[in-house]
Amino acid sequence: MSAEKILPWDAYNQQLVAQVHPDDWVNPTPTGRYNLVVIGAGTAGLVTAAGAAGLGAKVALIEKHLLGGDCLNVGCVPSKTMIRSSRAAADARDALQFGIRVPPGVEVDFAAVMERVRAVRAKISPHDSVKRFAEMGIDVFLGEARFSGTETVEVAGKQLRFKKAVIATGARTVQPPIEGLKEAGYLTNETVFSLTERPKRLAVIGGGPLGCELAQAFQRLGSQVVLFHKHGHILDREDSDAAGVVQKNFVREGLRLVLNADVKKVERKGAEKWIHFETDGQTDSIAVDEILAGTGRAPNVEGLNLEAVGVRYDQRHGIEVNDHLQTSNPRIYAAGDICMQWKFTHAADFAARIVIQNALFFGRKKLSALNMPWVTYTDPEVAHVGLYEREARERGMEVDTYLRRFDEVDRAICDGEETGFVKIHVKRGTDQILGATIVARHAGEMISEVSVAMTGKIGLGRLASVIHPYPTQAEAIRQCGDAYNRTRLTPTVKKLLRRWLAFTR
């Protein structure tokens, strides 16, 4: 079996590949029928395989590239490691506002930053290793899978019989339809973490979560970044106030934004890449050293021979599933980016749990029952769970919104992190939480409190009775609960209270 390689082929990447696609791995010999054959070893596939095997199922796991999928190899782990380094650079830049004088000459060692990215990825990789899953009793096969019959999957010349199968092959980056982009060359999340030299000038195409996270990270690490986005503000699917806070911070940090942008053409002139674009009716051009495309994902449906087993799919949205994650073939399920609108590691994790119950135990668990939070890891972070206010109104719900700005929260003032807020939406006339958005440096660490409340059907009023340590930024959540409770003090209630207190003096 040929070795998978990730550039640069240094000790850390060699350690990674030795864990998640070892060159000396010998596929086992299939024996008998499997309860579950899992195709794809990203988060959805790994959780499905491990969970099913832990319950006693006979499981086969197939992966043609690297176990761990996008999250470990080209997604969450490397990007958040890089973002952490960029945050350290920003802290050094802003140290003077806290009374700390940083000596002149402090600079970013980009090669060392990227070496740390590779080191962290290698350190985490044993958790997703071939060895670990084989030790769970799972038959791990490295190779490309295809359905060869109504109850068989072929991989590396071997036939695997299954009672149920799960497709968890994920999605991949696709090239934006921009003239000359392919010829000029560009980076994606699948290649950007192989960089060893910092691009002096970087263009990022796409102002969604991925584009924004990496644009800010590269700007902080010393690149001159221009971010192109086709809409009037970045993060256009997010709460507009939240997006506005992040956008304002981008401008403060010197990141150039080209909004309402239509990138027409890219051409290479020597070492430079010229981007020709139009915005608000005006045409312009800019020269950069590298281009990072942060738009477009396509499901990995090719080569599976889905037609042979009657699994419906399309090239844009992937495999069709019902709310139980069952495909058009009742013996075959799917989970993760291959079939879901939520493209998050934690979403794939919990979808896998649904698949285990439904595929093996005749369960009827529903994907729509999940209360799904998500986080965009800019600085400040934007975390959200449940409905946006606009979504609630589109569903005919009347909404009350409770807002607490961090310039009113003591700990945020102490931290110098005042540009953010907690916003919680409730169904009008009740304290039933419909959704929440938090904008804060560690918003991702705060949103779970609201998720727990929503999952446990705990109202906003009851959150006010939860004692939060002082001083913490999470107090803002409790303060939203206090604000709700104050609305319960109607004029009639206040009048009665005054009479009682006067009577009992």
DSSP 37-93: EEE--SHHHHHHHHHHHHTT--EEEEESS-TTHHHHHTSHHHHHHHHHHHHHHHHHH
The identity of residue 488, as a single letter, is R
> Residue 210 annotated as binding?
yes
> Residue 206 annotated as binding?
yes
- The reply to whether domains 11-173+298-369 and 192-294 share a CATH topology is yes
Total Cβ atoms within 10 A of residue 289: 16
Confidence of residue 254 (pLDDT cuts 50, 70, 90): very high
> Residue 415 annotated as binding?
no
Confidence of residue 2 (pLDDT cuts 50, 70, 90): very low
> Helix, strand, coil: what percent of the chain each, to 5?
35, 25, 40
d(CA 278, CA 325): 42
The residue extents of the domains of the chain are 11-173+298-369, 192-294, 380-488
Reference 41, options 157, 139, 137, 121; nearest CA is 139
pLDDT (mean) for 408-437: 98
Contact 380, 429 (CB under 8 A): no
Q: Is 46 exposed, middle or buried (0-12, 13-18, 19+ CB in 10 A)?
A: buried
Convert the pLDDT of each residue in 282-329 to its tens digit.
999 999 999 999 888 999 999 999 999 999 999 999 999 999 999 999
Convert the pLDDT of each residue in 338-372 to its tens digit.
999 999 999 999 999 999 999 999 999 999 999 99
Q: What is the pLDDT of residue 492?
A: 86
Q: What is the pLDDT of residue 495?
A: 87
> Residue 337 annotated as binding?
yes
Look at residue 455 and give its three-state secondary structure.
helix
> Residue 207 annotated as binding?
yes
> Residue 80 annotated as binding?
yes
Task: Output phi, psi for 289, to 5 deg.
Answer: -95, -35
Q: What is the pLDDT of residue 497?
A: 86
In CATH, what is the architecture of 380-488?
A: 2-Layer Sandwich (3.30)
The answer for residues whose C-beta is within 8 angstroms of residue 308's C-beta and 6 or more apart is 147, 148, 149, 150
pLDDT for 5 beyond 80: no
pLDDT for 3 beyond 60: no
pLDDT for 1 beyond 60: no
Convert the pLDDT of each residue in 61-76 to its tens digit.
999 999 999 999 999 9
Confidence of residue 105 (pLDDT cuts 50, 70, 90): confident
Contact 216, 380 (CB under 8 A): no
pLDDT for 162 beyond 60: yes
Q: Residue 311 has what DSSP assignment?
A: -
Among 3.50.50.60, 2.40.100.10, 1.10.3720.10, 2.60.40.1190, what is the CATH number of 192-294?
Answer: 3.50.50.60
The two structure tokens encoding residue 406: 């961090």
- pTM assigned to the model: 0.96
d(CA 236, CA 295): 13
> Residue 303 annotated as binding?
no
pLDDT (mean) for 400-426: 98
pLDDT for 207 beyond 50: yes
Residue showing tokens 């506005």: 244
Domain 11-173+298-369 CATH assignment equals 3.50.50.60 = yes
Confidence of residue 4 (pLDDT cuts 50, 70, 90): low
Per the DSSP assignment, residues forming a β-bridge with 72 are none
